[in-house]
Structures are given as C-alpha cells and as structure tokens.
Amino acid sequence: MKHLSLILLAETVVSRRKTLKLSQTALSSRTGINRSILSRLECGDFSPSVDQLLALSKVLDFQVSDVIVDDEVETVEIERKKIAIAGTGYVGLSLAVLFSQHNDVTAVDIIPSKVEKINRWESPIQDEYIEKYLAEHKERGLSLCATTDAISAYAGADFIIVSAPTNYDPKTNFFDCSAVESVLGLIKEATTEREMKPTIVIKSTIPVGYTVHIREKMDMDNIIFSPEFLRESKALYDNLYPSRIIVGADEKNRAAAKEFAALLQQGAIKTSIPVLFMETTEAEATKLFVNTYLALRVSYFNELDTYAEVKHLKTAPIIKGVCLDPRVGDYYNNPSFGYGGYCLPKDTKQLLANYEGVPQAMISAVVQANDVRKDFIADQVIAKSPAKVGVYRLTMKSNSDNFRASAIQGVMQRIRAKDIPLIIYEPTLEDGSDFCGFEVVNDLARFKSESDVILANRFEDELADVSAKIYTRDLFRRD
C-alpha cells in the first residue's frame, strides 16, 4: 500500500515555491488554497484534498507520484563502496551527489575551476537539488571530493562511472566517443596491476553496439552500460525519483550490474523503482529510442502549432483538446522553437545513423522536422521587418544555464542570413562580450529599448512590460 508523505510534500512545496520565487500569497492565488492552509502544509501539518494536491503539482511543476511512498519501505542493503566518476556535467555530478550519501565518491574533471568549486561544496552547474544537497553536505553526511588526478581516483575504486561527453560528428555520422575512450585508457592504466578489477559503468550516450565493440578493442571485459534519463537542471531530482533503472550487461557482469542498480536504489528517495536488466546493445538502443520519441513529441506539437499559426487558429485549445485523450496525455506539449540541448539533437541523428540498412521513414522525419520548425520561426520574425531583433536567453528551459545546441541559435543564424542585426540578453555571458558574432547586452532596459522584436523561447515575467514586442510560442508558460 502507498500513502501521501506529508514530509516529502512539505519539502517539495517549499523548495519549488522558492525556486519559482513565489510568495505564499502568490501560491495561494494561483492554487485557490487558503494561505493559512499553505503555512500548515509547509510545516507538514496538513493533508490536502486530491484537488488541492493536483493544483499544487500543476503550479509548482512536480509529479504527484514523487510524494507518494510505500507504507513499508524496503531498505536496500549494500556494502559501502569507493566510487570514482569521470565527468562533472549533469550526469556525472548528479550521480556523484547521489552516491556520496552512502559511499565514498571522487569526482574527476579536467577543468580545475569545476574541481575547486565542488571541493568548496558549490555546484558548477545550475541544478536546484545539486545546489541544495551540496549546501547541506554536513547535515546529509556527503562523502564527496573532486580532483583532476584521474589515475589516483581510479586506482582504488570499486565502481568507475564514465560520464564523458559524446557529441555527434556529422563527418562520421556517429557519436564522437574519443572522450570515453580516453577515460577508459586511463582506467586501464590505473588498474592494470589489480587482480580484482573495478566495474566500469558507461553512462555517456553511445551508439548501439559500442559497449561490445569497446570491450573487445580495449580488452576490458569489466564494462557495462546504464542509460540515464535525466532532465536538464533537474538531474539529481530525477536520480532521487527515477522512473526506472536500466542496466545493460553480459552474463559475466550480471552480478555487478545488480549491485550497481542497488547503489542507485540506495541513493534514491523513491521506492519500488522498476529495474530492468538487459544486454548492453538493448540498453543502448533503449536510450536512443526514448530520446527520439521525446523529440518526435516535441516536433508533433510544434507542427500542430505551425499549422494553427498559418491557418490563423488558436493553438492552445487544440492542444488541450488533443491531450485530454488519456492515450495522449496533457504533458510535454508546450510549443517551442524546436528541440535542443545536450541530448535530443545528437541522439536522434545517432539513431538515424544506426538505422542504416533498416527500412524507416519516421526517424528521418523527426530529424528533418526540427530544421523545418526553425525555418518557420525565423520566417515569422523576418516577416515583421524588424530593424533589430533581440534574443531573450539562449537557454532551452527556465531555471537552466545550458544553451548547447539550443534551437534559438539556429533561428538566429537564419535571421542573420537576411542581414538583420541581432543582440542577445543572456546573464550567463559577460555583458558586452561577443557570442558567435552577436553582441551580448545584459542591461535589460537597453536590450528592450533597442529591440524591435524580442525572440523568447520561454517567456518570463520581466518581459511583461514589452509584451507587444515579444515573439514566443510559450503558450502554457512551462517547459
């Protein structure tokens, strides 16, 4: 049996409200819940009705299932481990914090400034829960340090997690896995004299068949693969409340795979997590198919929005009407300028490359649809004949500092091709600096004044006073 955890609900409501910079009064107004009740709820002293819980989850953007727990929590018993993690991006750092609750963790990175920040218990990336856990490291008993000395970190580790970047290389039509191979080479060097080898877990996204290939190439039979399913800026949260755990391993490494899954379960808050064990190639394919489906869903609602704009229809009621069908679902449906970020653009292209020799039409369409959407958005802006276009944030999502491969950059290039000047408002960049030939203007008043049209993939309240200048497809004011 399961029940609502008032403690988890209180922690979630307080944390999300502060992240969204909402006062209790504002939250009361948006949810229709009396402020005095909210105060009791945030103290863990009030059990909300179903309607109140749903209203809170919608306004504060959390899943109701995250505050539901089993009546009897099954404890995962596992011996304390020494864990080394290669890479401190969203994947690596979130895992480092997760595991450091019950294990001794060393995070490895080649960038000294990131290492120094982690050793000061500061997050080098923007992620609400990572920042919170690092700030509370004493209370939580985290055992975590960071280093640039990979050899020493790997030498005595029981588990080594590889979360190095794998960018898509259009020349080879495959992921560039050189960073992963470099890490594996260092691991082999550091552990060559050990009789009992560590278990190496690749968390980087890789082509289908890569684990089998690299095990043979490097003569290392202690490598398994476990795909990650993390959202940008919510990586630790998604490790604390995972939708599932998947580990790919051959029969020889099946016991190690089960132990690794147990480590993930041990660090999580959520209980009764579905765990799947499969071959490495199947796990690799699962990761690429998941992200390609997400890209397909983004593209579907973007093309619905394109149709509505061209036909002078209102997009929002159409989406609502479509998504009230329980087979579709009212989520992941807010139009945007296209999919982007760390994963979707490269993973869709990699899956398409893996389809060589296999009949398909839809996978190609998902890749092509993103370019079509960016063409359309750019054309809509160009049609307004602006003297200067302002770009409000390069990031893909609210509360994020990542703008790698963000769709808005593709739109910017298309507008520049028509000789229309652009300026950027992006607080994560230095004011007055140059970004790909565009001036960064972080004086918001000046940015608003100089821009005839302001492109905003996601709308923020600070743009409300110039709403007439805004071009956005952020219909539902959420990611």
Place of tokens 């992620």: 127
pLDDT value of position 4: 86
Per DSSP, the three-state class of 229 is coil
How many Cβ atoms from other residues are within 10 Å of residue 5's Cβ? 17
Q: Where are the alpha helices (DSSP H) in 158-279?
A: 178-191, 210-218, 235-240, 254-267
The residue type found at 92 is G
pTM over 0.85: no
CA 210 to CA 227: how far, in whole Å? 13
Give the span between the Cα atoms of 406 and 397, in whole angstroms: 9
Question: Which pLDDT does position 74 carry in this prediction?
Answer: 52
52's enclosing H/E stretch is helix 50-60
The answer to whether 425 and 444 are in contact (CB under 8 A) is yes
Instruction: Give the tokens for residue 94.
Output: 């979130």
Q: In which element (H, E) is residue 201 found?
A: strand 199-202
Which residues of the chain have a pLDDT value below 50? 73
pLDDT at 253: 96
pLDDT score, position 398: 66
For the beta carbon of residue 143, count every other beta carbon within 10 angstroms: 16
Task: Extract the runs of DSSP E, i.e. beta strands, from 316-435.
Answer: 389-392, 422-425, 434-435
Residues annotated catalytic, as ranges: 343
Q: Measure the CA–CA gap between 474 and 471, rounded to whole angstroms.
A: 9
pLDDT at residue 71, as a whole number: 59
**Coil, strand or helix at 42:** helix
**Other beta carbons less than 10 A from residue 83's beta carbon:** 28
Residue-level pLDDT at 76: 57
Token representation of residue 347: 């993973």
Residue 1 pLDDT = 56
Pairing of strands 245-248, 275-278: parallel
| CA pair distance 51, 223, nearest whole angstrom | 47
Contact 422, 453 (CB under 8 A): no
Q: In whole angstroms, what separates CA 2 from the centre of its chain?
A: 28
